[in-house]
A = this chain, B = another copy of it.
Amino acid sequence: MANVTGLVDGPLGVAQRSPPLSPGNGAVASFLGVVRDHAKGRGVTRLHYECYRPMAEKVLARIADDARRFDPALVVTAWHGLGTMVPGEVSLVLHASSAHRGPAFDAVRWLLEEIKRELPVWKRQTFDDGSDEWVHGS
């Protein structure tokens, strides 16, 4: 199975959350990033994500390919949502499927750290007092 990656407008729904199921791969480890209603001790009412889209598409696909270092037969799904989202909505979906649980867990954790380090996506958070700010680094 091929990796599936992309950036799409809006929060991620059931379609993007569905994991890659393959009879050869017995373990699927996953991560969902959910918009949180608090940050730095303050209430958050919404987030807005923007990206450098052509570069982000390439970087996300490359990170997914690189995760094969954990298992050559690894299959990755990686979706990032863009635009405005409210707490409880899903901004990131990662799945890594492997024949064994060890590489699946290691890969999904690595994918998340790489995405947080390399994917050209930025979020602006709006606090419950109406103020907002760009988050740089995470």
Contact = CB atoms under 8 A, between A and B. Distances in A.
Contacts of A24: 36-38
Contacts of A33: 26-27
Contacts of A27: 31-34
A15 to B, nearest CB: 12
Contacts of A99: 36, 38
Contact of A23 (B28, B37, B101): B37
A38 to B, nearest CB: 7
Interface residues of A, number: 32
Given A30-B29, A31-B29, A31-B30, A23 B105 contact: no
A35 B22 CA distance: 9
Contact of A105 (B22, B97, B109): B109
Given A24-B37, A25-B36, A26-B35, 9 more contacts: A21-B34, A22-B34, A22-B88, A25-B34, A27-B34, A28-B34, A29-B108, A30-B30, A38-B99
